[in-house]
Amino acid sequence: MESTISGEEMRMAELEHTLRELKTGSLQPAIRETETTIIGLEKKLALLEAEEQGLNTQILSGETEAVELKHAADQCTEKLLVLLGAITEESSGNEGFQEEITTLQANLSGLETRHHELGKEVQQRQSSYRDALQELDKLRIAIENCRIARTALHEEITTLHTEAASTAENLTLCNEAAATLKKELETRRIRAAEHQKKLNEKESRYHQQQAQQQDARNTVREMNRKLDVGRQLQTALATERSTMHQELERIFTSIKLKYNCELATMERPIKEEPFNFNEATETLASLEAQCDQFGAVNELALDEYQAEKERLDFLTEQKNDLYAAETQLRETIEEINRTALEKFEATFHAVRKNFTTIFQELFDPEDEADLLIHTADDPLESHIEIVAKPKGKKPLSIEQLSGGEKALTALSLLFSIYLVKPSPFCILDEVDAPLDDGNVGRFIKLLKKFENNTQFIIVTHNKNTMASCQALYGVTMEEEGVSKLIPVRLEKIRH
């Protein structure tokens, strides 16, 4: 009985394991196996019920036999008591009575022994019966659970069939949609190729127009420069004209005061014609009369004229020198601007390329970084924008980056400039403060790349940065108010 119960318990454990696997394995074979298990359990249940009935019959038979034995024992006891009374009354009695008493006592002992054995057997069978009833209840509960699980599995199979049919329909629709999308994609690819071709043509025209626009801008700048020069020359000439006009007014006034004549009203000399004596005589008389009107001759007039002429020549020479100096200065400024623009463009392109490379070394090879000039009219006066877009982020400006990302971007720009124009010394103050350990390692690796050409002095509290240094200088205060510098050569300690 116990072996049967143990086998059923093992069977139930296997059944529970099978039920757990039904959710992950194939449902149909699991259901068939469950049904087979249920049928087997029902057969076992029928056998156990038959065995239970047999045990009940045996228990009833044992109980009847025990009652009969007890009754027989009671009868024997009564007879024994009667015989003992008779023996007491007739102490000298018959030997036959003694033998009968002995026989009855032996029978009584056997009956008592048999009664005890039957009692133990009845208790054992009752205990087995109770255990069998408990196991039977367990098996019934297990069978009920299996039936419920089977019903649930059938419902799940029905649901899965429904979902499979729906999925098949959806798959058909998806295949049709995929075919349609594939055709549309092919059409759009053709259109995209055409648009790309047109875009390339437009870009080519745009670059041509941009080059023409740049030439036009250069021409406009040159014309503006010439216009400025012309305006300045016009202003200078107007000033010179005003000065000359004032000087002529002064000369007219001086001549009027000295010679009492108006140069503005004097007749211009007449062109020479064939000589006529009479006319010459009249002209001479007229001139003599005019000379008489002049009065005394100013002997210093020639010297004054010579002095004024020298001053006029000096001012004219000064003006020509100023014009020449202005032209030379403008040419020098133009040459300086052209040279500065060429050097700026060369340096900017080199720094821009280095900035992209170093930024991708510090961040990720797929990250974006660039330097952009906002306007191309005058690059020397234009604003330069720093574009930094780490992977997974799309900031509109560099101000939206974190502190560590800003620090790494600034280091990328600094070292991109160092690649163009190295410096023998560089002092960095707490640049690794906003960096985590991983970014500090990248920062140290970048420093190692430049340490052959540049000596770095770093103010830091980061242990990784201090561990990578060749020399360490610490400031301590052994005495109150007295600072002390302690140098440590880490290279000697490492070796």
Here the tokens at position 186 are 């092919």
Q: Residues of the chain whose pLDDT is less than 70?
A: 1-35, 52, 62, 66, 69, 73, 76, 80, 83-101, 104-105, 115, 160, 164, 168, 255, 258-275, 291, 294-299, 375-376, 491-495
The pLDDT score that the predictor gives to residue 492 is: 58
Q: Around Cβ 142, how many Cβ atoms within 10 Å?
A: 20
Length of the chain: 495
From the list 118, 120, 121, the residue with the least C-alpha distance to 110 is 118
Pairing of strands 471-479, 384-389: unpaired
Domains of the chain, first to last: 2-183 (1.10.287), 344-421 (3.40.50.300), 422-495 (3.40.50.300)
Tell which phi-psi region holds residue 148, choosing left (phi > 0), alpha (psi between -120 and 50) or beta: alpha
Planar angle of CA 338, 344, 346, nearest 5 degrees: 105
Here the tokens at position 56 are 């009940």
Long-range (24+ apart) CB contacts under 8 A made by 364-369 are 364/390, 364/391, 366/391, 367/391, 369/409, 369/412
Q: Is 112 exposed, middle or buried (0-12, 13-18, 19+ CB in 10 A)?
A: middle
Identify residue 85 by its one-letter amino acid code: G
The pLDDT score that the predictor gives to residue 258 is: 58
Would you say the pTM of this structure is higher than 0.85?
no
The pLDDT score that the predictor gives to residue 2 is: 47
The pLDDT score that the predictor gives to residue 87 is: 58
Distance of CA 373 to the CA centre of its chain: 26
Q: Around Cβ 277, how many Cβ atoms within 10 Å?
A: 7
The pLDDT score that the predictor gives to residue 43 is: 76
The pLDDT score that the predictor gives to residue 96 is: 57
Here the tokens at position 34 are 């469950």
The pLDDT score that the predictor gives to residue 89 is: 60
Buried b (16+ CB within 10 A) or exposed e, 327-340: eeeeeeeeeeeeee
Q: Around Cβ 427, how many Cβ atoms within 10 Å?
A: 9
* Cα(168)–Cα(164) distance, integer angstroms: 6
The pLDDT score that the predictor gives to residue 23 is: 46
The pLDDT score that the predictor gives to residue 430 is: 87
* Cα(234)–Cα(230) distance, integer angstroms: 6
* Cα(57)–Cα(76) distance, integer angstroms: 28
* Cα(193)–Cα(378) distance, integer angstroms: 37
Pairing of strands 384-389, 368-373: antiparallel
